[in-house]
Amino acid sequence: MPLIFEALPGLEVPVGAIAKSLAEMWSGPAVGGDAPVLNDDAKATQVNFVLHLGFKTTPEDALVQFRTAVRFSQRCPSRIVVLCPMVQEGGEKNMRAKIYGECHLGKSKDDKRCVEFVMLNYPRAARLHLEDQVSICLSSDLPLYYWVHRFSDSARLADYRYLLSRAKRVVIDSSIAPADAMTYPWPNPTALRDLVYSRLLPVRQTIGQFLSAYQPAGLIAGLQSVTVTTAPDLVTEGQVMQAWLKRRLTACGARLDTISFATKPGENGRLAVDFGYAEATRYFKWAGNLADGHARFEADFGAGRTILPASVSLLSPEAALNEAMFF
């Protein structure tokens, strides 16, 4: 099976010569004959970013996440280190490295921004030296953000204490993470962020803005049930939505022990929320189709029926990553 390290772009260099190789990469002619990047401002970075590709990552998936990191860096210039642990080691004991650079234009032709990647491929035997090598690759005066993708075991990931403890944010995707990922006793649990929650930002915003037009007491009076309907590919999104609704209803003064919460399966691409009240004439319904981007509100809180069309979407991967890291 191809290594994820080999699937990623870049030039392989000796591990001990990463810094020198990066400097040489920018001093030579760029691909296509462009002039070398001599302006230090173009290479200025704002954050350290470590992307950890877990054992469940395929070579194709690794390339997708790599491109997401590139697009993220266009929003926030970063020094990015990609960790590629070896699944099948075959007696390998040495660490391997690649470097990669890419530049893009900002708001004007004179606004050029460049991103640097360091890819580290390592067997279990080299694991003890990984933190030292990562620290050498990072800028010591910048905050660290740690994104872990498709890891297979929370307890095994907990061994990366240096990154988990130092990172300002630890980003995971609960839809593809181990079941205990969000409740595992990480070294710094307050730093943990879920990409599923971040992807749902437009959905949370549109529902929150609609309900904010009503008094909190009116929303919870006689509320008996909250049902979230989810497509088969959005089950985790439905669970995260339900947890968010519980928090927001609690903030409105609701007693959760008097409300029945449930999830049920729905059609592909669809999410829906339904509030049931003791009075049959009072209700709130929101339904969204992520496939066509359309949503619909239906509600009556005692002052007359309201029907409102709306748009719906999830954040793009790079926008969700930005949301998870900084908010």
Report how far residue 44's alpha carbon sits from residue 261's, in angstroms, rounded to the nearest whole number.
Answer: 49
Q: What angle do CA 253, 254, 255 make, to 5 degrees?
A: 120
Q: What is the mean pLDDT of residues 225-246?
A: 97
Report the C-alpha dihedral over residues 192, 321, 326, 108, rounded to 10 degrees: 160
| Alpha-carbon separation of residue 2 from 56, 60, 87 (angstroms) | 13, 10, 10
**DSSP letter, residue 107:** S
Distance in angstroms (rounded) separating the CA atoms of residues 202 and 181? 24
**Predicted local distance difference test score (pLDDT) of residue 111:** 73
Per the structure block, which two tokens stand in for 58? 């395929």
Beta-ladder partners of 78: 47
State yes or no: pLDDT of 40 exceeds 70.
no
Q: List CB contacts of 158: < 8 A, sequence separation 6 or more.
A: 164, 184, 186, 187
Q: Read off the pLDDT of each residue in 303-307 and give the average, rounded to a whole number.
A: 94
CB 262 within 8 A of CB 269: no
Distance CA 81, CA 75 (A): 17
pLDDT in tens, 72-92: 998 898 999 999 999 877 778
Kindly give the pairing relationship between strand 283-289 and strand 294-300: antiparallel
Q: Provide the CB-side half-sphere exposure for 129 (13 A, CA).
A: 13
CA distance 87 to 53: 11
Order of strands across the sheet with 260-265?
260-265, 223-230, 270-277, 283-289, 294-300, 306-311
Residue 38 has pLDDT above 60, yes or no: no
The reported pLDDT for the residue numbered 231 is 96
What pLDDT score was predicted for residue 32? 44
Contact, 152 vs 54, CB < 8 A?
yes
Contact present, 71 and 107 (Cβ < 8 Å): no
- Using CA atoms, how far residue 239 sits from 175, 232, 242, 249, in Å, is 10, 12, 5, 15
| Pairing between β-strand 270-277 and β-strand 283-289 as defined by DSSP bridges | antiparallel
Model confidence over 99-124: pLDDT tens digits? 999 888 777 767 777 889 999 999 98
Give the span between the Cα atoms of 209 and 201, in whole angstroms. 12
Confidence band (pLDDT; 50, 70, 90) for 181? very high
pLDDT in tens, 48-72: 999 999 999 999 999 999 999 999 9
Per-residue pLDDT at 1? 43
Q: Smallest Cα–Cα separation from 50: which of 158, 151, 163?
A: 163
